[in-house]
Amino acid sequence: MVPMAFGWEHVLFANWRVEADVVDAHLPEALSVQEYDGDGWLSVVPFRNVKVRPRGLPASVGIPLPELNLRTYVTCDGEPGVYFFNLDANSLFAVLGARVTHRLPYYYARMRMTGDDGRVRFESRRRHPGDRPVRFSASYGPTGELFEAEPGSMAAFLTDRTRLYTQDSTGSIRYTDVSHDPWTLYSAEWSVDENTLFEANGFDHPEGEPVLYYSPRTDVVTSRSKRWRAE
């Protein structure tokens, strides 16, 4: 239940339109698909966590942690948030900690992340015992001018969330509040060699090209995980 502090850097948001009914079939009953332009969305998000530590400890004790997730956008009793289908990370200790403290679906993976703001190379192979294999390999980077997403825009919808939801082993919905400064964003480009995240989570790979955004860095703090209770 420990609140955390960390930074997110070299973040790519790769976002696909998906029919809302398709997404809804994979959600807990208490959650509803949040649509934008009449569709649900699935997002693949590779990035590096930095200075990961319990909130209140100095940043100097934090650790770096590459991560890869597949997520969608939901509401719970009208409150918007993110729902993660998986979060892969290359630290077994961090995976176990996140599963215990926030009930999040973390999986152990071997990852390699290289490069800087100009271009990032991200490779991941899931090694979690007994779970479906996931392979991801891509290069990505920013294009164009830096901007902040306007409220109500597609960029804001696909990046700016202050709550995440998960389901624990009893079937109860839990939530964690997330606080960070507004995202600074670029449009992005990428080159993908392999991506099996959709298939591993029971989805067909979406058709068409994704909407891409890149953010160089933002700092984050989270609340404790709490059980959601219907009003």
Domain boundaries, the chain: 4-227
Residue 66 is predicted with a pLDDT of 92
Residue 183 is predicted with a pLDDT of 92
Q: What does the alpha-carbon distance between residue 2 and residue 77 come to, in Å, rounded to a whole number?
A: 25
Report the CATH number of the 4-227 domain.
2.40.400.10
The structure's pTM equals 0.93
Q: Are 189 and 209 in contact (CB under 8 A)?
A: no
pLDDT in tens, 31-47: 999 999 999 999 999 99
Here the tokens at position 228 are: 């959601």
Write the CB contacts of 180 (distance below 8 Å, at least 6 apart in sequence).
8, 218, 219, 220, 221
Tell me which residue has tokens 């991941």. 124
Residue 188 is predicted with a pLDDT of 98
Instruction: Return the DSSP state at 129.
Output: T
Long-range contacts of 84-91, Cβ-Cβ distance < 8 Å, separation of 24 or more = 84/164, 84/166, 85/26, 85/201, 86/134, 86/197, 86/200, 86/201, 88/124, 88/126, 88/128, 88/134, 89/49, 89/65, 90/65, 90/66, 90/124, 91/63, 91/65
- Tens digit of pLDDT at every position of the chain (231 positions): 578 888 999 999 999 999 999 999 999 999 999 999 999 999 999 999 888 888 888 877 777 889 999 999 999 999 999 999 999 998 665 656 656 665 688 889 999 999 866 799 999 999 987 678 999 999 999 999 999 999 999 999 999 999 999 998 888 999 999 999 889 999 999 999 999 999 999 999 999 999 999 999 999 999 988 999 876
Phi, psi of 59 (to 5 degrees): -60, -25
Residue 106 is predicted with a pLDDT of 86
Mean pLDDT, the chain, rounded, equals 91
Write the CB contacts of 133 (distance below 8 Å, at least 6 apart in sequence).
125, 126, 196, 200
